[in-house]
Every structure is written in C-alpha cells, then in structure tokens.
C-alpha cells in the first residue's frame, strides 16, 4: 500500500491516506490497454496486446478482447526464444480483418514485455500489402505515364524548338553559305580575271597591247610548223621607225607614246588574223607572216608596212609623218627557229639603217658570210691576248714649228696568224660588245706606260703618250687604282700620260665619271677630249670638266680646204682652245695644204699620215731623234 500523512500540531494528530499498489497498477494497465485499443495510425493501423497465455487484452475489435489466440502467442514465444530476443516479426493467419474476412495472412511486429508479460504487436495484412503495392504500382504507372506525357510534351516542345532553331539556323547558314559561295565565285572570277590579266601582261606589251617577244616567238614557232606542212615560207620582219627619237625629244614622251599606240593599231590591222605583229621595245616592231609563196610576196608585204605609215598621224593637233626601215629573214632559207630568224632580221635591219633610212633589206649569203667571219673573229679574239697577237703602235704628234715629236697616241694592232691583220674598228667593237674592253684597255695602258718610260730615256724634251679610254673602262670600279698602279710599276711620271676620252663617255653619264676624272687630274694626268666638234654639246664639257687637251676630228680637217663650213668650225675650235688655254691637236692631217693652213690658224700640234702612220716603238724611238718637215 502507498500512503501519505501529515502532522496536525494543534491536536497532535497525524492525518494520512493510502492506496493499495495492486489497485493502482490495475488502473494503470486498464487505462493503458484502453488507450492502446483506441490508438490508430495510417488508415487501418492499430495495436494489439496479448498476455502470456494468449488472451487478447487490447484490440481494435472489442469483440476479440478477452478471447484467446493461443496459437499466436505460442508462435510468438517460440520465435522470441529461438532468436534470443524480446522482439521480432511473426507471420500467421489473422482471426480479424476490417473487411470481415477471416483467416487472412498477416505479418506483425511483436515485442514482449517481461514485467507485465504482455506481447504487444501491430501488423499488416499481406493482402493489403499486395493491394497497396498494386495501388502504388498503379499510381507509379499513372505518375510515370504523366511524367512520360510531360517528358513527351517537353521533348515535343524541345523538338519543335530545335526544329524551329534548326530551320532558322539552316536558313541563316544557307544565306551565309550562299553569300560565301557568291564570294568564292566572285573571288574565283577575280582570280580568273587576274590570272587572265597576268597571262595577257606576260604575253603583251603594256602600252600598245600588241604581243610581246614571248608570244611572238610562240606564234612564230606555230607559223613555222604550219608553213612547213604547206610547203611555204615564213617571213620575220624587223621594223624600226625612222627618226622616232626626234619626235620624243621635240614633243615629249606623251606624244611619242600615243604615236606608238596609233602605229600599233595600223600594224595590227595590216597583220590581220593570219600573221602576228609584236612590239619588240622602244620604236621597234616585228611582223611574223606565215604561208608566203616566195620572197617577192614577202617584199610586197614589207612594202605594205611602209605604205601603212604614209598617211600622217594627228596627235594633239600635231601632224606627224613616219617612215620605217625593215630587215627581213625567211624560213626555211635563213633558219628554222624563231630566235635565229629574229636575230638575223635584227642584223640586216642594223645594216640597212647604216646604208640609209627607209630601206627594206633581206638577209642573204653575203651577210651570212660576214656573220660567220664576225663569229670567227670573236672566237679568235678571246685568245688573241693570251697568244700575244696584240701589239701597240704609236702615231707621232709633231710640233709643226720645230718639226720635233712632242707626243704619240697609242693605237692597238692585231695581226692574226690565221686571219691576217684585223682592223681596230672591228676588234675593238667586238671587245666592247663582249665586255673584253676592260682587259684590252688594261693591256694597252700597261704597254703604253712601259713604252713611255723607254721613249723618254734619251729624249731632248718630254714626250707625252696618249691612251684611249672607253666609257666602260672609266665606269669600271678600281680604274683610278689600276692607272696609278701601272704608272708606279714602270716608274713613269703621271704628267707624261694623256687619257683620251670621246664624248660618248659624258653623254652616257657625266655625273658618274666626274669623280674619276677629278681624281686622275689631281694625280697629274692630262685629260684629252677626242673627236671634238662631232657631238651636240662639246662646249658644255669644257665648263663641266678641266679638259687639258682637245683634238679636232679628222672629218673637219679633210673638208676644211674646200668647205667653208668645216673651215669655220676648225677656226672656232682653235679660238675656243686658245681662249681657254687648252692644248689643241689636229688629227688626220694628210696633206701639206692642211698642215700649212692649220699652222696659219694657230694649231701647231699635228697628227696624221702627213708626218707618219702608226709605228712600232723601235721605229718611233728612232724617229724622235730626227727633225721632221717644217714650213
């Protein structure tokens, strides 16, 4: 029993109250069982309580309270004992189901309370589990279907978006591709146009748009092949416009260029579709005319070329007349290769112009023989220096008052063992064209310095030696050093050496040669201007350069006796020289009358056959000891 008491002091009483423990425990159990019977969870979830003997103490169904489920209790105790625990899962046939069905399979979770010996449990019916699972599956299927529908709708939406984007992108890409394709086609068109322009430029003259040399040779090669099949001739005609340079100098290059363009149009119309006309450079044109019957037909066509130029050209209100010199070579007579025919037509054109302007000249056997001789001379000249075939002779320059030699001009001579004596005009021209003039000039300078030393060993007065210098020598690097080294090698005074130059040196590049000439003059060399009066600007060179000597050209000396104009020129040259204190030499003097007149005019230094032809050094040395003719 459990009691509670309290002392009441006034009376000394103890007042108390108590209750038996068994009654309190019973009440607690009863209330707890009632609470368990009424407890619910989920929709049909409930708890039940059995005692150790299987009596139902608490249950959802009041009708089952007090009944015995002995088999369930025994099965539960057996399970708990075997598992050595106070809780576990138990499967059995349930005597109750909310739906009223009996003996339904059920799984319950049970826990045994040892103090009160209660078996407390709750469970689920397997059928309900199946139904729940089926329901959940159904819900899941439905939810899955809904999700699938959503996913499908989403996919369809995305597909539509993608299709729309794809359409927009494809449309955009299509436009860009079309733009890119058009751009590529435009670029290809420009490339093709540029390629065509380059091809045209590579094969045509920029100014006249006529074929150039490349296309001319190609068309000539085809023309030769076609003429060979036809058994006919082909003519290559080299055309040079006479006096074209005068048009450029007088009216300017603009008028000259327009004249070339108009000439090209006339020539192109004349050539037509059967032949080719090309601009070869400058004022030169070349016709290539295939399938000609004979030389007479070629001559007739050449005459047509000249006839085409008869009508005046009117340019910027200026009426201009032209004529042409023409050189002609023929296939198969003169060769079967385009370059060979061009070369021969060019050669005969050059010869034609030397004979006079406005002529038509054909390549022939005589010219062929001269060419072969020229080529032979070229081959021989290359080794002439090494074989010692070249020599230097000296033409004396005489003081007509004393009759004494005061100078000499060094002149190169070539005697070939196979060809005999070769004119200096021939082999010097060969040397100029083949760039052998540098070696030839060095040889003459070396020999002249050596001989100048010997010539002055026993001379009563200094004897100068003149050496001709070509433009190529003067412009060659190291020329000054070469001259200085040569005079130093032979210990000859620089004052004894005279370097003779023609006006061509100054015409080609006056500014380029000025430093060289100044350097030589500072070292004591004299500078002579040869062939004075034959150029267009001889007087200007006297001001630009410190010329120490001028030589009157023989063309004036020969004519001055009978030609007043030539005499006036000679008088003027002598007056200019004397007023500028420049030594003057008359070259080409051959007669006593010429020598006498020159002496009267004040020119006392005479060079020419009147006194002597060019001599070997030994004869010149002997001659210096004598007194020559004096008046």
Yes or no: say if 118 and 126 are a contact pair by the CB < 8 Å rule: no
> Looking at residue 64, what is its pLDDT?
74
| Burial class (CB within 10 angstroms; exposed 0-12, middle 13-18, buried 19+) of 418 | exposed
Tell me 336's DSSP state.
Answer: S
DSSP string across 347-365:
HHHHHHHHH-SS-EEE--H
Residue 217 falls within a domain, yes or no?
Answer: yes
Same domain, 397 and 483: yes
In a domain, 206, yes or no: no
Question: Assign residue 209 a region: left if phi > 0, alpha if psi is -120 to 50, beta otherwise?
Answer: left
Q: Are strands 87-94 and 13-19 parallel, antiparallel or unpaired?
A: unpaired
Contact 2, 24 (CB under 8 A): yes
Do the beta carbons of residue 236 and residue 287 sit within 8 Å? yes
Which residues partner with 409 through β-bridges?
395, 466
Beta strands in 200-275 (DSSP E): 233-241
- Pairing mode of beta strands 324-331, 360-362: parallel
What confidence score (pLDDT) does residue 544 get? 65
Question: Alpha-carbon distance 394 to 380, whole Å?
Answer: 24
pLDDT of residue 264: 94
Question: What pLDDT, on a 0 to 100 scale, did the predictor assign at position 351?
Answer: 79
Q: Any idea what the CATH number is for the domain that residue 561 is in? A: 3.20.20.450
Tokens 């090209």 belong to residue: 264
**229-232 long-range CB contacts below 8 Å, 24 or more apart?**
230/291, 232/290, 232/291, 232/292, 232/293
Residue at 231 is within a domain: yes
Tell me the three state secondary structure of residue 395: strand
The domain that holds 48 is classified in CATH as: 3.30.450.20
What CATH number is given to the structural domain containing 333? 3.30.70.270
Residue carrying the six token digits 């039940």:
48
Query: Is residue 593 situated within a structural domain?
Result: yes
Contact 301, 272 (CB under 8 A): no
Q: Specify whether 147 is located in the same domain as 197.
A: yes
Cα angle value 449/452/457 (rounded, 5°) = 135
**Same domain flag for 396 and 499:** yes
Q: How far is CA 370 from the centre of its chain?
A: 45
Where residue 319 falls (left for φ over 0; alpha for ψ -120 to 50; beta otherwise) is beta
Q: 411 and 348 in one domain?
A: no
Same-domain check for residues 473 and 516: yes
Name 313's Cβ contacts closer than 8 Å, sequence gap at least 6: 259, 262, 263, 319, 320, 321, 322
The residue ranges of the chain whose pLDDT is under 70 are: 1-2, 18-24, 43-44, 70, 73-85, 90, 92, 94, 96-104, 371-372, 503-510, 533-545, 627-631
Tell me, yes or no, whether 10 lies in a domain: no
Q: Is 165 helix (H, G, I), strand (E, B) or coil?
A: helix
Q: Is 532 helix (H, G, I), strand (E, B) or coil?
A: strand
Domain residue limits at 485:
375-622
Q: If you ran DSSP here, which 8-state letter would residue 312 be given?
A: P
Q: Final residue of a domain: which of 363, 387, 421?
A: 363
Verify that 103 and 163 share a domain, yes or no: no
Please confirm whether the linkage preceding 471 is cis (ω < 30° from 0).
no
Assigned domain for 309 exists = yes
Both 438 and 539 in one domain: the answer is yes
Domain-located, residue 16: no
| C-alpha–C-alpha distance, residues 109 and 121, integer Å | 5
Among candidate residues 201, 232, 255, the one where a domain is terminated: 201
Same domain, 400 and 514: yes
Q: How many domains does the chain have?
A: 4
Query: Quick one: 195 and 99 in the same domain?
Result: no
Structural domain includes residue 3: no
DSSP string, 168-201: HHHHHHHHHHHHHHHHHHHHHHHHHHHHHHHHHH
Q: Which residue has the tokens 């003027």?
A: 572
Same domain? For 479 and 415 the reply is yes
Domain match, 435 and 479 both: yes
* Residue 462: closest CA among 501, 488, 493, 499: 493
Question: Three-state SS for 268?
Answer: helix
Task: Find, among 63, 132, 133, the residue nearest to 95 by Cα.
Answer: 63
CA distance 491 to 106: 146
Give φ, ψ of 592 to 5 degrees: -65, -35
CA distance 285 to 279: 4
Reduced to 3 states (helix: H, G, I; strand: E, B; else coil), residue 166 is helix
pLDDT reported for residue 4: 73
**Pair 499, 605 in one domain:** yes
């Amino acid at each position: 029993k459990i009691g509670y008491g309290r002392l009441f002091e006034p009376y000394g009483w103890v007042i108390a109250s108590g209750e038996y423990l068994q009654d309190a425990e019973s009440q607690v159990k009863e209330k707890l069982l009632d609470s368990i019977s009424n407890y619910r969870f989920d929709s049909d979830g409930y708890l039940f309580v059995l005692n150790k003997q299987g009596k139902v103490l608490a249950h959802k169904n009041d009708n089952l309270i007090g009944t015995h489920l002995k088999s369930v209790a025994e099965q539960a105790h057996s399970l708990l004992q075997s598992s050595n625990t106070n809780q576990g899962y138990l499967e059995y046939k349930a005597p109750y189901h909310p739906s009223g069905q009996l003996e339904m399979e059920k799984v319950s979770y049970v826990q045994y309370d040892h103090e009160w010996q209660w078996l407390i449990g709750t469970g689920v019916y397997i059928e309900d589990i199946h139904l729940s699972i089926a329901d959940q599956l159904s819900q899941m299927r439905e939810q899955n279907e809904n999700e699938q529908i959503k996913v499908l709708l989403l996919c369809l939406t995305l597909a539509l978006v993608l299709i729309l984007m794809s359409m927009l992108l494809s449309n955009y890409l299509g436009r860009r591709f079309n733009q890119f394709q058009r751009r590529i086609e435009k670029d290809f068109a420009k490339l093709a146009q540029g390629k065509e322009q380059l091809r045209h430029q590579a094969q045509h003259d920029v100014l006249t748009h006529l074929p150039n040399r490349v296309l001319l040779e190609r068309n000539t090669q085809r023309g030769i092949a076609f003429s060979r099949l036809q058994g006919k001739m082909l003519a290559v005609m080299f055309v040079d416009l006479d006096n074209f340079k005068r048009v450029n100098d007088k009216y300017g290059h603009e008028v000259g260029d327009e004249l070339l363009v108009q000439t090209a149009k006339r020539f192109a119309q004349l050539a037509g579709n059967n032949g080719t006309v090309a601009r070869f450079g400058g004022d030169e044109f070349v016709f290539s005319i295939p399938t000609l019957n004979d030389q007479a037909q070629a001559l007739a066509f050449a005459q047509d070329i000249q006839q085409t130029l008869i009508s005046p050209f009117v340019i910027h209100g200026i009426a201009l007349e032209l004529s042409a010199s023409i050189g002609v070579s023929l296939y198969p007579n003169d060769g079967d290769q385009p370059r060979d025919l061009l070369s021969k037509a060019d050669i005969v054109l050059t010869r034609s112009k030397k004979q006079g302007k406005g002529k038509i000249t054909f390549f022939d056997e005589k010219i062929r023989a001269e060419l072969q001789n020229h080529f032979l001379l070229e081959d021989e000249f290359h080794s002439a220096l090494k074989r010692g075939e070249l020599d230097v002779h000296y033409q004396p320059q005489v003081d007509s008052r004393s009759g004494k030699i005061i100078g000499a001009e060094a002149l190169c001579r070539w005697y070939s063992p196979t060809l005999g004596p070769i004119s200096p005009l021939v082999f010097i021209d060969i040397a100029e064209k083949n760039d052998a003039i540098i070696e030839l000039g060095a040889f003459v300078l070396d020999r002249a310095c050596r001989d100048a030393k010997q010539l002055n060993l026993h001379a009563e007065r200094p004897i100068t030696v003149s050496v001709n210098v070509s433009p190529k020598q003067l412009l060659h690097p190291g020329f000054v050093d070469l001259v200085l080294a040569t005079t130093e090698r032979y210990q000859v005074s620089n004052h004894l050496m005279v370097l003779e130059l023609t006006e061509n040196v100054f015409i080609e590049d006056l500014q380029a040669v000025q430093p060289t000439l100044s350097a030589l003059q500072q070292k004591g060399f004299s500078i002579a201007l040869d062939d004075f009066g034959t150029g267009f600007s001889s007087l200007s060179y006297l001001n630009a350069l410190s010329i120490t000597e001028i030589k009157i050209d023989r063309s004036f000396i020969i004519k001055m006796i009978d030609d007043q104009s030539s005499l006036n020129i000679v008088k003027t040259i002598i007056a200019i020289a004397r007023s500028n204190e420049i030594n003057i030499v008359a070259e080409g003097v051959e007669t006593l009358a010429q020598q006498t007149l020159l002496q009267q005019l004040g020119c006392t230094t005479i060079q020419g056959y009147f006194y002597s032809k060019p001599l070997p050094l030994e004869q010149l040395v002997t001659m210096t000891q004598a007194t020559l003719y004096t008046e």
